[in-house]
Amino acid sequence: MKSLRYLLPLAVFVVLVGFLAVGLKLDPRLVPSPLIGKPAPAFVLPRLDDAARTMRRDDLLGKAWVLNVWASWCGPCREEHPQVLALARGQYAPIVGLNYKDVRDDARNWLRQLGDPYTVSLSDTSGRTGIDYGVYGVPETFVIDKTGVIRFKHVGPLTATVVQTRIVPLLKELNG
């Protein structure tokens, strides 16, 4: 009985160390999303360039597309912007910007200064659409197939590696 008193805390400690070791090997950018493989949430949002015009998710059905969630106040969005511009130059798919919880004029000025890679940017000032997509920070990027199903999600700034090894091959597959 005395040895059990010492073995039980040791066993608990070993289990906790095991969980910690596994957790340290995980990539924090690979956040599992319950939406992968499910239809992208519907939306009707005003366009950033013209608030009188709106766009719906269903307007994008029939082609694969990329949804990039960004904001002018977001430092990492500025960091990833050259990668979004490069992806747009490749013309693999339309890139829709979801301007998240931002001031319209600030966002428009940001795009004028840094370049506008988006086929269209939509304004999500309330953040409701972002919440529907499971966004908890910006930037985040989604690849959505022709039927409107989310096929990929990347949390954090895009890198050249992610674009070239994950997004471009997936878009080629979806468009092929």
pLDDT digits (tens, 9 = 90+) for 77-111: 999 999 999 999 999 999 999 999 999 999 999 99
Q: Is residue 8 part of a domain?
A: no
Question: Which residue range forms the structural domain that includes residue 163?
Answer: 29-175
Fill in the DSSP letter of residue 125.
S
- CA nearest neighbour of 67 among 50, 49, 42: 42
Q: Which residue has the tokens 């766009």?
A: 55
Q: Is residue 141 part of a domain?
A: yes
Q: Is residue 35 part of a domain?
A: yes
Number of domains making up the chain? 1
Q: Is residue 18 part of a domain?
A: no
pLDDT single digits (tens) 12-58: 667 666 666 665 655 554 556 789 999 999 999 999 999 999 999 99
Provide the CATH number for the domain around residue 34: 3.40.30.10
- pTM score above 0.85: no
Specify which residues 10 forms β-bridges with. none
Q: Is residue 20 part of a domain?
A: no
